[in-house]
Chains A and B, each alone.
Chain A
Amino acid sequence: MSKETPLWEVFVRPRNGLSHKHCGSLHAADEVMALQAARDTYTRRGEGLSIWVVPSKSIFASDPDQTAENFDPSVDKVYRHPTFYDIPDEVGHM
């Protein structure tokens, strides 16, 4: 079995004013090569102006088994949304 070249996650900012967005992964021995590979792989058609690379092993994900306990409790908190509150039309936009 040959040695494994580490996996990286790539985030590209399409243009200034927007966030970096996850666009894929690649393999590289270190961060310098990962950035170059990201440039050569994910920005060949003018897709971006800035790149982040993050070692995949540094990403910690929430547990899908806890999806319900994590996210369901927020569903019924309708008072967090502006439409929950009645404001008379005469008041105008608020």
Chain B
Amino acid sequence: MSQALFNALLELGDDHLILGHRVSEWCGHAPLLEEDLAMPNMALDNIGASRNIYTYAGEVEGKGRDEDQLAYLRLDREYKNCLLVERPNEDFAHTMLKQLYFAAFMEPYWQAALSSTDETIRGIAGKAVKEMAYHIRHAGEWVIRLGDGTDESAKRMQAAVEEMTPYVEELFTMSADAKACAEKGILPDREALRAQWSQTISNIFDQALLDLPEVKFPQLGGRTGHHGEEMGFLLAQLQYVQRAYPGMSW
């Protein structure tokens, strides 16, 4: 069981770390100063959640690995984040949509995790569920404004929707490890969250005048370490200091 939980925690931790990394790339480059304050808040929430999750994963594994060893010292194929979160920022429309898609999934996920059989998971969920509720609101309001703003913003927003939606399915898919944890009531069943996700998104898309496309070919692979090309560059940055100066403390 502990191996399954360890792996499932890595899926969760990596999702938050990699998304937080992407959002943090905006810091100092946002479209308006107020957003230069808002985006780091979201990045800090995600990175903070990843730290709690990795720390617990390290305890579950029992080999003495801490949050940094898990975050920094694995090979590309060992990262288990879904493809959605590693997608490049592209523009503000893509970034906000990615944030919305993720938070619209994680909010009900953590909500369900509040009744986990595992006390540490309940603790992590209690904090994260509020953060995700705010991310839905913040990213959602932007998606509405960009979708129903100018012609250009509507075009960019719809383009982001076309491009990002194929990556959503992976949020719901259950790895064998996630299944094992769900059966024990430790982690929520991802499959069961589809309706809530769709409800959140369709509420926002109605106001944003956006259409959710039907996805015939969902993009999967992150959970098994089959990442896109951009992931290598992300990790090269993330891991640079730790790799260039191995074994030092910072």
Give the B-binding residues of A (Cβ under 8 A): 5, 26-29, 32-33, 36-37, 40-41, 44
Q: Which one of B1-9, B119-127, B137-145 contacts A? A: B137-145
Q: Is B248 at the interface (CB under 8 A from chain A)?
A: no
Q: Does A27 lie within 8 Å of B33, measured CB to CB?
A: yes
What is B's interface to A at a CB cutoff of 8 Å?
32-34, 37-38, 41, 137-138, 141, 145
Chain A residues with CB below 8 A from B141, complex form: 32-33, 36
CA separation between A36 and B38, bound complex, in Å? Answer: 8
Flag if A27 contacts B32 (CB, 8 Å): yes
Shortest distance between the CB of B233 and any CB in chain A (Å): 29
Cβ contact within 8 Å between B38 and A5: no
A57 to B: closest C-beta gap in Å: 18
- Residue contact A37 to B145, C-beta cutoff 8 Å: no
Instruction: For the complex, give the distance between the alpha carbons of A33 and B38 in Å.
Output: 11
Name the one of A27, A28, A40 contacting B41, with C-beta atoms under 8 angstroms.
Answer: A40
- Residues of B with C-beta under 8 A to A5: 32
Q: A5-B32, A33-B145, A37-B38 are in contact. List 19 more A-B contacts (CB 8 A).
A: A26-B34, A27-B32, A27-B33, A28-B34, A29-B145, A32-B141, A33-B34, A33-B141, A36-B38, A36-B138, A36-B141, A37-B37, A40-B34, A40-B37, A40-B38, A40-B41, A40-B138, A41-B34, A44-B41
A28 to B145, CA, bound (A): 12
Task: Name the distance in Å between B133's Cβ and chain A's nearest Cβ.
Answer: 13
Q: Which of B32, B33, B34, B138 has the most CB of A within 10 A?
A: B34
